[in-house]
A = this chain, B = another copy of it.
Amino acid sequence: KTLKIAVIPGDGIGNEVTAEGVKVLDAFAAIKGNIQFEYTYFPWGCEYYLKTGNMMDVDGIEVLKGFDAILLGAVGYPSVADHISLHGLLLKIRQEFNQYINLRPIKLLPGAPCPLKDKGPEDIDFVVIRENVEGEYSGVGGIRFPDRPEETAIQTAVFTRKNTEKVMDYAFKVAQKRNKFNKVTNVTKSNALNYSMVFWDKIFKEIAANYPEIATETNHVDAVSMYFLQRPESFDVLVASNLFGDIITDLGAALQGGLGFAASANLNLEKEFPSMFEPVHGSAPDIKDKGMANPIAMVWTVKMMLDFLLEDEDTEAIIEAITQVLLEGKSLTPDLKGSAKTHEVGDAICEKLKGL
Contact = CB atoms under 8 A, between A and B. Distances in A.
Interface of A: 82-83, 86-87, 91, 114-118, 136-137, 139, 141-143, 148-162, 189-200, 221-223, 225-226, 229-230, 242-243, 246-251, 253-255, 258-259
Contacts of A189: 243, 246
B229 A141 contact: no
Contacts of A199: 143, 151, 153
Given A154-B158, A225-B250, 19 more contacts: A83-B191, A83-B192, A86-B192, A116-B117, A137-B192, A141-B196, A150-B160, A152-B161, A155-B194, A221-B247, A222-B250, A225-B225, A226-B253, A226-B258, A226-B259, A229-B229, A229-B251, A229-B254, A230-B254
A158 B162 contact: no
26 contacts: A82-B190, A82-B191, A83-B191, A83-B198, A91-B192, A115-B116, A115-B118, A139-B194, A141-B156, A150-B161, A152-B159, A153-B196, A153-B199, A153-B200, A155-B157, A155-B193, A155-B196, A157-B157, A189-B243, A192-B246, A222-B251, A223-B250, A225-B251, A229-B254, A230-B254, A247-B247
A249 B223 CA distance: 10
Contacts of A136: 192-193
Of the candidates A148, A162, A192, A222, the one having the most CB atoms from chain B within 10 angstroms of its own CB is: A192
Given A115-B230, A251-B229, A194 B154 contact: no
Contacts of A117: 114-117
Contacts of A242: 192
Contacts of A157: 154-157
A161 B151 contact: yes
B155 A197 contact: yes
Contacts of A115: 116-118, 229-230
A151 B165 CA distance: 11
A251 B250 contact: no
A257 to B, nearest CB: 10
Contacts of A142: 195
B230 A258 contact: yes
Top 5 nearest A-B pairs (CB, nearest first) are: A153-B199, A141-B195, A155-B196, A82-B191, A222-B250
A186 to B, nearest CB: 14
Contacts of A249: 222
Contacts of A195: 141-143, 153-155
B160 A190 contact: no
Contacts of A226: 250-251, 253-254, 258-259
Contacts of A156: 141, 154-157
A148 to B, nearest CB: 8
Contacts of A87: 194
A160 B154 CA distance: 9
Contacts of A250: 222-223, 225-226
Nearest to A196: B155
